[in-house]
């Protein structure tokens, strides 16, 4: 580091001057480092969240600004003592982080997080080419690139004119003011390291919000990635443990077919079964009227992410009681140990190799250790429409499995692009934009068509579930269906998908995204054999519960005997004990569901 022309000072001011000297010498780098670490300020969400009480508001940004100053200061010290090449490398690293973070923000409304790191690692060449062709040339992608190029040019211009700028600033800023700012800057930099502790309010609450500086996001994303890898290792340990144990079957029928159906993005309020004005679930409504279908009225999903819900609904943990999914068994393995034929029919499995299944968190259901020890068979092909996937399963396995069976169907449901989730033929092209009155300015023809697509996809989903019911109607069968989460499709605001709540709309948001349809269907033979279980089901339809405990209900209604079954988590068991239900937004914030919907009544 060069000494410059500043005369050395003595005493405390001398110490302060020496501490600030690298920042003063490399002030262009320090300033640009702060700006490059905060790309979120160039996105509208930054200003919206400042006044949104549910995002943490000013406290989030003040804490993160201090942390940003600290990171920028550390980088500046390194650059000041390391030479030109280190400085250029640091600029390039920060610029690349800026571009990636701004791109994610503008294109996907997302920050750098563990999922981002995971997807980068798991993406193959073909997927990368498709990603570039679709998103890099989008409006947000081009905007991010333009902003990054402008920053690159600004860095070059400021560095080349550094001395001129310094002379100009010296003329307009009093010397005493510059001296006074020095100790304040040091205090701010030191305070910026406090929020980085692994515990406390910042890590547990503020860090979950966005936007944040890119280095903080990167550090905690890598930490989260390692933590998730450790959990996958614990899954293997549990598989080995359960493989050595026995599961009691004294209360299990000699023939019993349990059908476990996980839907996708089903908005409960769009189901005719729950009072929706349009006939979107006529066949399930008929089953309800016949007394074979039980529609639970107060089921809540704890997460609005499919990946998180797969963990919560396939492992014997209770997330609302603070239990981690990786510390409990995989419930299909318990059925396999009890002698059941277990089939996984997953219409959301991406194309991947067996090695990919073991390293990809998004492919958890197909992790090699789980597949080997939990499934008797796996339906291998993914189809455009859910019913085609089920028909393939029937072609392969319908007459090949023993009387005791657990059949798992993971549907595409109404996921994201609802128009692609149903065949555009009669009777599934039933609803049009004319079925939706224009009750708000944003409900133009395009938006009302999207609403119609959603309801048509729901109508198709009704036929998919009804098909399964028809196939097993004459057997001793129990079917459990629920959706991983809900969605929004212009129900109360100009919003499509799963976005964050707005002030005054948290209750509406919670109802749309976390209220889920939950059905239990019993065949006549199951009802004849187990009238007491059916009575328990009927008694529980209005009991508030969270879907993270569904495995306990399935185990209980099937009659399996295992120490991992806990009656207080089974909503159909008289010993069921309600707990506080928490819901988690996509950016990690946790809400008390009862408080969220209680404070803001549904319109």
pTM, rounded to two decimals:
0.76
Please give the helix or strand (H or E) that residue 231 lies within, else none: helix 214-243
Give backbone dihedrals phi and psi of 483, rounded to 5 degrees, phi first. -100, 150
- Judge whether residue 311 has pLDDT over 80: yes
Per-residue pLDDT, averaged over 244-257, amounts to 94
Does a cis peptide bond (omega within 30 degrees of 0) precede residue 180? no
- Which segments of 472-571 does DSSP mark as H helices, in order? 506-514, 524-529, 531-539, 550-558
| Spatial strand order in the sheet of 256-263 | 293-296, 518-522, 477-483, 256-263, 404-410, 341-346, 377-379
Per-residue exposure over 197-226, b if at least 16 CB sit within 10 Å of its own CB, e if not: eeeeebeeebbbbbbbbbbbbbebbeeebe
Asked if 33 and 72 count as a contact pair (C-beta separation under 8 A), the reply is: yes
Per-residue model confidence as pLDDT tens digits over 551-588: 999 999 999 999 999 999 999 999 999 999 999 887 66
Question: What SS3 string covers 103-131?
Answer: HHHHHHCCCCCHHHHHHHHHCCHHHHHHH
- 229 CB-contact burial (10 Å; exposed 0-12 / middle 13-18 / buried 19+): exposed
DSSP assignment of 367-381? -HHHHHHH-SEEE--
pLDDT of residue 27: 87
Q: What is the pLDDT of residues 195-224, one digit of tens each?
A: 555 443 334 444 444 446 777 777 777 777
Lowest mean pLDDT, pick from 84-88, 129-133, 311-315: 129-133
Question: Mean pLDDT highest for which of 69-83, 112-126, 480-494, 496-510?
Answer: 480-494
Model pLDDT, residue 516: 97
pLDDT of residue 195: 58
Q: Which of the four pLDDT bands, split at 50, 70 and 90, describes residue 110?
A: low
- The answer, yes or no, to whether residue 538 has pLDDT greater than 90, is yes
**Higher per-residue pLDDT: 19 or 246:** 246
Q: Render pLDDT for 220-236 as a digit per residue (tens, 0 to 9).
A: 777 777 788 888 899 99
Q: Which domains, ranges and CATH numbers included, belong to the chain?
A: 11-224 (no CATH), 255-430+459-599 (3.40.720.10)
Spatial contact of 97 and 40, defined as CB atoms under 8 Å apart = no
pLDDT digits (tens, 9 = 90+) for 119-169: 666 555 555 555 666 567 777 788 888 988 998 999 999 999 988 888 887
């Amino acid at each position: 580091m060069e000494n410059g022309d500043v005369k050395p000072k003595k005493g405390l001011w001398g110490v302060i001057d020496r501490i600030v000297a690298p920042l003063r010498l490399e002030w262009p780098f320090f300033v640009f480092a702060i700006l490059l670490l905060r790309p979120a300020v160039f996105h509208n969400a930054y200003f919206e969240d400042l006044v949104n009480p549910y995002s943490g508001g000013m406290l989030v940004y003040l804490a993160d600004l201090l942390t940003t100053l600290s990171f920028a200061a550390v980088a500046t010290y390194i650059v000041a003592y390391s030479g030109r090449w280190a400085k250029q490398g640091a600029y390039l690293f920060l610029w690349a982080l800026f571009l990636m973070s701004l791109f994610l923000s503008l294109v996907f409304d997302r920050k750098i997080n563990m999922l981002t790191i995971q997807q980068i690692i798991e993406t193959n060449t073909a997927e990368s080419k498709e990603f570039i062709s679709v998103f890099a040339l989008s409006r947000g992608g081009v905007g991010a690139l333009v902003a990054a190029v402008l920053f690159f040019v600004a860095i070059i211009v400021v560095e080349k004119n550094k001395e001129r700028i310094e002379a100009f600033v010296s003329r307009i800023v009093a010397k005493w003011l510059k001296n006074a700012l020095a100790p304040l800057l040091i205090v701010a930099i030191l305070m910026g390291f406090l929020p980085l502790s692994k515990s406390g309010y910042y890590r547990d609450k503020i860090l979950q919000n966005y936007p944040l500086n890119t280095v903080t996001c990167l550090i905690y994303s890598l930490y989260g990635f390692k933590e998730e890898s450790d959990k996958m290792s614990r899954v293997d340990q549990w598989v080995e443990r359960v493989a050595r144990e026995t599961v009691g079957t004294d209360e299990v029928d000699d023939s019993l077919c349990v059908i476990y159906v996980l839907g996708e993005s089903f908005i409960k309020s769009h189901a005719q079964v729950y009072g929706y004005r349009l006939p979107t679930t006529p066949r399930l409504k008929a089953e309800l009227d016949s007394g074979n279908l039980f529609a639970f009225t107060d089921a809540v999903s704890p997460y609005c992410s499919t990946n998180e819900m797969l963990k919560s609904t396939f492992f014997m943990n209770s997330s609302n009681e603070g239990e981690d999914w990786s510390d409990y068994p995989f419930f299909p393995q318990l059925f396999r140990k009890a002698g059941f034929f277990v089939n996984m029919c997953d219409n959301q499995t991406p194309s991947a190799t067996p090695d990919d299944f073991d390293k990809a968190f998004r492919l958890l259901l197909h992790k090699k250790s789980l597949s080997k020890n939990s499934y008797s068979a796996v339906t291998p092909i993914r189809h455009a429409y859910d019913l085609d996937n089920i028909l393939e399963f029937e072609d392969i396995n319908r007459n090949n499995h023993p009387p005791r069976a657990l059949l798992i169907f993971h549907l595409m449901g109404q996921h994201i692009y609802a128009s692609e989730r149903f065949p555009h033929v009669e009777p599934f092209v039933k609803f049009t934009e004319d079925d939706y009155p224009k009750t708000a300015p944003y409900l133009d023809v395009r938006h009302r068509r999207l609403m119609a697509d959603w309801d048509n996809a729901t109508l198709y989903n009704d036929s998919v579930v009804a098909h399964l019911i028809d196939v097993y109607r004459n057997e001793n069968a129990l079917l459990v269906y629920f959706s991983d989460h809900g969605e929004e499709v212009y129900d109360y605001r100009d919003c499509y998908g799963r976005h964050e709540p707005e002030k005054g709309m948290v209750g509406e948001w919670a109802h749309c995204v976390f209220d889920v349809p939950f059905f239990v269907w019993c065949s006549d033979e199951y009802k004849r054999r187990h009238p007491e279980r059916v009575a328990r089901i009927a008694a529980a339809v209005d009991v508030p519960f969270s879907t993270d405990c569904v495995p306990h209900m399935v185990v209980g209604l099937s009659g399996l005997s295992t120490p991992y079954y806990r009656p207080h988590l089974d909503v159909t068991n008289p010993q069921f004990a309600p707990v506080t239900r928490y819901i988690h937004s996509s950016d990690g914030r946790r809400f008390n569901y009862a408080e969220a919907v209680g404070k803001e009544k549904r319109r």
